[in-house]
Amino acid sequence: NCSQGQFPITQNVTVVEGGTANMTCRVDYNDNTSLQWSNPAQQTLFFGDKKALRDHRIELVRATSQELTIRINDVSLSDEGQYTCSLFTMPVKTTKAYLTVLGVPSRPEITGFTKPAMEGDEITLTCITSGSKPAANIRWFRNDKELMGKYMKVNATGKSFTVRSSLLLQVDKRDDGVAYTCSVEHVSLYKPYMTTEVLEVHYAPQLEITHSLIIPQEGQYFKLECVSIGNPIPEPVLWSKDGGELPDIERMIVEGRELTITTLNKTDNGTYRCEASNHVGTSFAEYILFVYDPNALGQHVPDHALIGGVVAVVVFITLCLIIVLGRYLARHKGTYLTHEAKGAEDAPDADTAIINAEGNHVHAEEKKEYFI
């Protein structure tokens, strides 16, 4: 039992680069035999409470007959390896403890993009992080949606790794203002390192004309607005009518993107165009204006609700007539045939049957039918 109690006990230690590692060696029973810590190069660090290696980062924490604990400050990747605790009995008893050092990845950098991009361009974004151990993992996000990178490449640089991941994009106007984020995940990090690149994409204008009235009428105030998107923002907006300049600048007022006609009349009928451009391209939109006469509009434009009500009444009456007529015919069809045939059962031929039928004696000649 004493022999077993004199066997040293240690534990493996994992520490983040730059952190502090405490290495502890214990025995349950010791007859005043010294404990010793050695590094992976088999250099003695401490023999009991005596420091043997001149390294200011290494210091004594606790030294008793049953425990020897040392501290390694500002741990580097080169400190990683197998450490030995020795108990100097006869024979010497040793136990190994492995110190694992995690290399912290650098904050990622995104390369491969120069602002601004042109719509239709194909660009490759590359995210790079170095110094990780083990190798870090890279993920891509478009705003909050995760994307799959084209590839991820890992290079060993000494004891650490450099990781690259690329994202191939065919940019269009929907990418303008979109945030592309590279996220680096690693066991040494409490939360991922992230770097974001907001894309700027230049694209040609897109125009649309909105109008203030559904049915423009003579004498009304009317406004057209040229709504445009584009990057850079297209300025200015040019208005024209029927392929030429606006004919009445006193009534047709242009303010920025708006065209206002103060008092509509029939001469304003025509096609109005707004046009805008930037360095990417030029676009236009058109609106056909037809000015209505308010008097004619009141006479000829029927009340749709009234028309619907009239149609519903006509359909209802028609259905009622069809039902009544159908029931009448069904009720009187059998009676008519029975009276016509009454008294004609024993007639030798068709002519006699018609003459002998009940009620036909007086008008027998009128109802007589001839068969050929």
**Structure confidence at residue 261 as a pLDDT band (50, 70, 90):** very high
Q: Are 153 and 190 within one domain?
A: yes
With contact defined as beta carbons under 8 Å apart, do 184 and 138 qualify? yes
Across 231-246, b (16+ Cβ under 10 Å) vs e yields beebeebebbbeeeeb
Q: Among 279, 187, 264, which Cα is nearest to 219's?
A: 264
The rounded distance, in Å, linking the Cα atoms of 129 and 347 is 117
pLDDT-derived band at 233 (thresholds 50, 70, 90) equals confident
Give yes or no for residue 304 having a pLDDT over 80: no
Query: Which of helix, strand or coil describes residue 279?
Result: coil
**How many other C-beta atoms can be found within 10 angstroms of the C-beta atom of residue 30?**
19
Of 57-66, 77-86, 303-312, 331-340, least confident by mean pLDDT is 331-340
The answer to whether residues 272 and 224 touch, using CB atoms and an 8 Å cutoff, is yes
In a domain, 294, yes or no: no
Neighbours of 175 (CB within 10 A): 20
The answer to whether position 353 is within a domain reads no
* Straight-line distance from the first to the last Cα atom of the chain, in angstroms, rounded to the nearest whole number: 139
Select from 61, 77, 102 the last residue of a domain.
Answer: 102
The answer to whether residue 236 sits within a structural domain is yes
Q: Is the pLDDT of residue 224 over 90?
A: yes
Mean pLDDT over residues 165-185, rounded?
Answer: 92
Tell me: do 13 and 98 sit in the same domain. yes
Q: Are residues 219 and 273 in the same domain?
A: yes
Looking at 46-50, 120-124, 255-259, 313-317, which range is the least confident one? Answer: 313-317
Average pLDDT over residues 136-164: 87
Highest-pLDDT range among 4-8, 48-52, 71-75: 71-75
Together in a domain, 250 and 231: yes
> Averaged over 37-60, what is the pLDDT?
93
What's the whole-number mean pLDDT along residues 131-159?
A: 87
Let me know if residue 333 belongs to a domain. no
The residue-averaged pLDDT of 270-290 equals 93
Indicate the pLDDT class of residue 249, thresholds 50, 70 and 90: confident
pLDDT tens, residue by residue, 42-52? 999 999 999 99
Task: Indicate whether 193 and 153 sit together in one domain.
Answer: yes
Residues 264 and 219 in one domain: yes
What CATH number does residue 38 fall under?
A: 2.60.40.10
What is the token pair recorded at 341? 């045939």
Where a domain ends, among 181, 199, 217? 199
Say whether both 95 and 21 belong to one domain.
yes
Other Cβ atoms less than 10 A from the Cβ of 112: the count is 14
pLDDT interval class at 70 (50, 70, 90): very high
The reply to whether 327 falls in a domain is no
By the 10 Å C-beta count (0-12 exposed, 13-18 middle, 19+ buried), 260 is classed as middle
pLDDT above 50: residue 339: no
337: pLDDT strictly greater than 70: no
> Among candidates 3, 217, 164, which has minimal Cα distance to 93?
3
Q: Is residue 312 part of a domain?
A: no
Strand partners, 102: 16
Say if 370 falls within a structural domain.
no
* 210 and 194 within one domain: no
Q: How many CB atoms lie within 10 A of CB 149?
A: 18
**In Å, how far are 116, 121, 178, 234 from 140, measured between CA atoms?**
21, 20, 13, 33
Query: End of a domain among 63, 82, 102?
Result: 102
- Is 99 within 8 Å of 81 (Cβ atoms)? yes
Res. 232: pLDDT tops 60: yes
* Residue range 343-357, pLDDT digits in tens: 555 555 545 544 555
User: How many structural domains comprise the chain?
Assistant: 3
Structure confidence at residue 27 as a pLDDT band (50, 70, 90): very high
Domain span at residue 33 reads: 8-102
Statement to judge: residues 153 and 236 lie in one domain: no
**Shared domain check, 218 and 174:** no
pLDDT at 1: 43
Cβ neighbours of residue 143 under 8 Å, at least 6 residues apart? 178, 179
Residue appearing with tokens 């929907």: 174
